[in-house]
Amino acid sequence: MKSDNKNIRHLSLPALQEYFVSIGEKPFRAKQVYEWLWLRHADSFEAMTNLSKELRQKLNEHFVLPAVKVDTVQQSNDGTIKSRFRLHDNHMVEGVLIPTDSRQTACVSSQVGCSLSCKFCATGFMDRKRNLDFDEIYDEVALLNQQALSSYGKKLSNIVFMGMGEPLLNYKNVLQSIERITAPDGLGMSPKRITVSTAGVAKMIRQLGDDKVRFNLAISLHAANDKKRSEIMPINDSNNLKELIAALNYFYKATENEISFEYILFKDFNDSKEDADELIKIYRQVPADLVNIIEYNPIDNARFQKPDSQTAEEFMEYLTKHRVNARLRRSRGKDIDAACGQLANKG
Ligand code: SF4
């Protein structure tokens, strides 16, 4: 990447039109290039074959196109595909394609590493290196979409921002990437098929409400009282459950978008009847549609274990008996470290 040149994907269509006029080209060229960049997902100027060689050369001299590249791909026995993506500065992030009979879900990263240090998460043991730009997040989705088409013959149906990083600490880029992902001249996906997952940055959850976003929100809850939550998620010290509940109600009032909770079960930590009672209490205070109960996937550094399946099922039954819409999510891609909480650029 030539460091002085501007990233062409950071130009809006009107700015691109202005550029073409300034070099004596017809404004419609801007639309052609914009289409190559977003709709056709070209990863180089050379690929823009309906432009003259001279024009491609000119673009090359004035701009850079730092497209994300697939570095390595691993496929799980259950069909889950984990990809490691190389960014222009050689940082790596991971993304996962999770196929089921009815869905092709992409799980994408929003930061290189993470600053929130959740105690059960492999990414939390890495430092946060930098935020991803919106075009880099877009690339992840577009590349996973290509994978879905080539491996399973279907386009992506859903996107979850549950990979590496805290999306709400990279707010502007995440929102801008979703604008491009949902734009008709981008990937044209419905915002209702997109879920942003947060560890609970209350101020930014309110901001989502103020910005009237149209995508769904998932909260990584994982413990339903402040003491336990702070023990495993340091962010709870500055964003406690009371603040989180107030922010979620604010968000819902402003947008009426779906809210769900993610709750990983840890053996002898948050899997008792008392824990379930506390979870039910929180659920009743938030207009949440769903609680996803997630099987824990052990990672090297963490002290937690997964409960036996009977405990997990009893926990589920107890929630259901108390009219909580809960679903037990068996993890996918465990054999390739692609499951929830396992993304850490191993190797
Ligand atoms: S769970 Fe999410 S917020 Fe917590 S450390 Fe991992 S990536 Fe960061």
Domain assignment present for residue 285? The answer is: yes
Residue 205 Cβ contacting ligand 1 at under 6 Å: no
**Helix, strand or coil for residue 217?**
strand
pLDDT of residue 5: 92
Strand boundaries in the chain, DSSP class E: 6-7, 63-64, 69-75, 81-86, 92-99, 104-107, 111-112, 130-131, 158-161, 194-198, 216-220, 259-265, 290-295, 326-329
Nearest residue (by CA) to ligand 1, atom 4, is 118
The response to whether residue 164 sits with its C-beta less than 6 Å from ligand 1 reads yes
Q: Are residues 30 and 160 in the same domain?
A: no
High-pLDDT (> 90) share of the chain, %: 88
Higher confidence at residue 123 or residue 15? 15
Which of 14, 48, 64 is the endpoint of a domain? 64
The reply to whether 180 and 43 lie within a common domain is no
Q: Is residue 341 part of a domain?
A: no
What's 41's domain CATH number? 1.10.150.530
Which one of 22, 49, 64 terminates a domain?
A: 64
Q: Do 222 and 113 belong to one domain?
A: yes
pLDDT of residue 346: 57
Residue list for the binding site for S-adenosyl-L-methionine: 165-166, 197, 220-222, 297
pLDDT at site 64:
97
Q: Is the pLDDT confidence value at 120 over 50?
A: yes
Confidence of residue 119 (pLDDT cuts 50, 70, 90): very high
**Confidence bin at 295 (pLDDT 50/70/90):** confident
In a domain, 132, yes or no: yes
> Among 147-161, 268-282, 285-299, 309-323, which stretch is predicted with the lowest mean pLDDT?
285-299
For residues 59 and 74, membership in a common domain is answered with no
Q: What is the pTM of this model?
A: 0.95
Among 64, 85, 105, residue at a domain's last position = 64
| Same structural domain, 120 and 196 | yes
Q: Answer whether 162 contacts ligand 1 (Cβ < 6 A).
A: no
Q: Is residue 1 part of a domain?
A: no
Whether residue 166 contacts residue 131, with contact meaning beta carbons closer than 8 Å, is answered with no
Does the residue 224 lie in any domain?
yes
- The structural domain count of the chain equals 2
Asked if 92 and 78 touch (Cβ cutoff 8 Å), the reply is no
> Within this chain, do residues 30 and 155 fall inside the same structural domain, yes or no?
no
Instruction: Flag whether 284 is in a domain.
Output: yes
Strands 81-86 and 92-99: antiparallel
**Statement to judge: residues 110 and 256 lie in one domain:** yes
Q: Which of 111, 118, 132 to mutate to test the pocket of ligand 1 (most atoms within 8 A of CB)?
A: 118
Tens digit of pLDDT for each residue in 309-330?
999 999 999 999 999 999 998 8
Of 157, 7, 3, nearest in space to 68 by CA: 7
- The CATH number assigned to the domain holding 158 equals 3.20.20.70
Q: Does 270 lie in the same domain as 175?
A: yes
Residues 88 and 230 in one domain: yes
Shared domain for 36 and 87, answered yes or no, is no
Task: For residue 129, give the amino acid letter.
Answer: K
* Pair 93, 109: CB distance under 8 Å: yes
Assign 3 a pLDDT band (cuts: 50, 70, 90).
Answer: low
Distance of CA 318 to the CA centre of its chain: 30
Distance from residue 164's CA to the centre of ligand 1 (Å) = 7
pLDDT at 67: 95
Please say if the pLDDT value at position 301 is more than 90.
no
Query: Is there a single domain that holds both residue 153 and residue 206?
Result: yes
User: What is the domain range of residue 220?
Assistant: 69-336
Q: Is 123 in the pocket of ligand 1 (CB under 6 A)?
A: yes
With a cut of 60, say whether residue 28 has pLDDT above it: yes
Q: Show the CA angle centred on residue 303, arms to residues 302 and 309, nearest 5°.
A: 105
In a domain, 347, yes or no: no
pLDDT at 80 over 90: yes
Known binding residues for [4Fe-4S] cluster = 114, 118, 121
Per-residue pLDDT reduced to its tens digit, 163-202: 999 999 999 999 999 999 999 999 999 999 999 999 999 9
Tokens 């909580």 map to which residue? 324
If one residue of 166, 297, 345 were mutated to test the ligand 1 pocket, choosing by the most ligand atoms within 8 A of its CB, it would be 166
In a domain, 50, yes or no: yes
Residues 312 and 180 in one domain: yes
Among all residues, which ones are annotated catalytic?
Answer: 94, 340
For 193-206, letters b (16+ CB in 10 Å) and e give bbbbbbbbbbebbb
Instruction: With cut-offs at 50, 70 and 90, classify the pLDDT of residue 298.
Output: confident
Q: If you average pLDDT over residues 54-65, what whole number do you get? A: 96
